[in-house]
Structure 1
């Protein structure tokens, strides 16, 4: 009998997951991939399977896994964790390019051997990815704030406005796959509902969501020099500083432009809920003020023109009233980051990579990495229980080039200079080429929304032969 998820193009959700490579077929039970089943024996078996099959070996037959053993495994020391956190930014993930534009997931590439699909029969790509939704129990007759359909799989059919489920990010059309850690894909609808009602006040759901259902809402950043009115000293003055408003709704400022990404900010404060607007009371043109809730002071800034002041006020106003709902993709990456590296389903590439330390160009920090759907996850080692962080690859281009004493490295180039450039290096040039090809294919799955619309408008007209 067909699995209920097969109509949505899934082959990795259910009782058995299939994975083939180099002519070998592997079968993994879903129970073996559950996060809760992370005992030493379980992951030892997974590592042995990973090494023996050479499932992710390079094209030339050499495998980076040959250097992974109990003695040479990556040390999970605090130094690696600190370097990764410092280099990747807030919470270990660098997400600037994703939040600064509107992106839409274009889906997995169609196999070139599949043959052409007749016009009019091309369905919209439905790409289901797992994420975790945690809902705190509310009040009233329906405290969770959502409805589910009597079906297999269980589908969310309604989410109450301003309810607990909406606040947690549950969406109409989501598939409920597990309730409080218990798989519900094959149990009756009533049993799944009872698991939620009889459980704790924090309902933890494993959800299957379509990450291509719509674009994200961008949270544009703003950068530039402003003059800031000083607070210290007897004589008030103005000092030129480099200001950076990031998608996390925080305003950072540095002494110089070159200090961004290299030195710690002189200060920062959150703009959410702040009072922002022009202030002509100081007798200086193009002055505006900001009164953040987290600080007991008023900040005054001076721009170089009325246009520049308007640009900053528009950006700061968006930060004062931010979009609080995460895009499904952000929740998916958080879910994947909570898993061990070998438990991420259908990775596009994985293995050892070295990342250059921004503060010491001669130092390369070793990580175990997993690539999935345009996100590169960094782990301290293959035995790690969760990721240290990652890089959202939206808009990045990748190429192989020499750097310093290394003849072959991987350069991740951002769409503009305001974002970070990353340098990585695998064990050998063949591994670098393998990673470059995989990253190129993975990053192309995401299109800028305007480009996706343009591609749709420029598509050839569909014809029906009568």
Structure 2
């Protein structure tokens, strides 16, 4: 099983583990982890390919969500930058801004502004829609499937009173609390210390228990009990509105919604179907796969669909027995001693596995080679998409 991890601000390793189910079904997905990929579908036009928003593959390629940004003050009241047209991409999010608190992220593609779809409009028109609208800016944004799939957790900032039982001053101390998008709660002595000093403490909220405390006879009090450790943080908000805001934000951080990549969702769904139930396959038929360790050829009934090769024991199988993610693979025709002509699927890096297949005859081999190459071309490396964006005429706006 392949697992991705990252280190949070408190130095703890957090397991994202979003590959379990599809790999347990026998799918080789390792190369898909090595780079970010954009699905461009059947549209091979270089002008359109980096979109991640092609009309056909949109449900496959994009995880959509709605973010609402309350307008602040200053020249850039929402605190983010957008660039390009068709699509419009978020390229900068200011710290401590409405955009950051709403969970807007660099790389998000803007799909709609205040209820109007903007995937096909010019940059200036989308800016006009945002600026003429209400102070509460509503955006529908999409994240491509290469991005971290977890539901964004809201940032939250403000003063809370923290109850203490240690030191010379027992009682309540006013502290500046910051709930980050990674689910870590940290606090400082003063608001001005954020970004200048290390936090006094960092609390990982995932798995924590957050609830109202009415035992003290004091309004707006709530407790936070982290999953690790036996310490209870007793906090008090400054108003009922702040009390509700913090409770909601901390509860969402404590119980994040973990989602699989969209691509994993699609392939997992397809793998549960009989081979002939997969809609619009690009190629299907018998293939023999070489087991490199034993030089034995194993026969599969195979279905090729959108850069994934599904393996079945037979055409009558109820579901796939395994499969191969083809992103980045090169398709070559090779000659081996056992078979006269074979199909070589070579990965972009030697750290990944090379696969060898052979069809029933030379004509079938050529049919599969053509189909495999076309299927792999449906995927574009994200770095190439970014480079294509960078080569476009610059359109940018600070919001």
- TM range, normalised to the smaller chain? 0.3 to 0.5
* TM-score with structure 1 setting the length: 0.36
* TM-score with structure 2 setting the length: 0.42
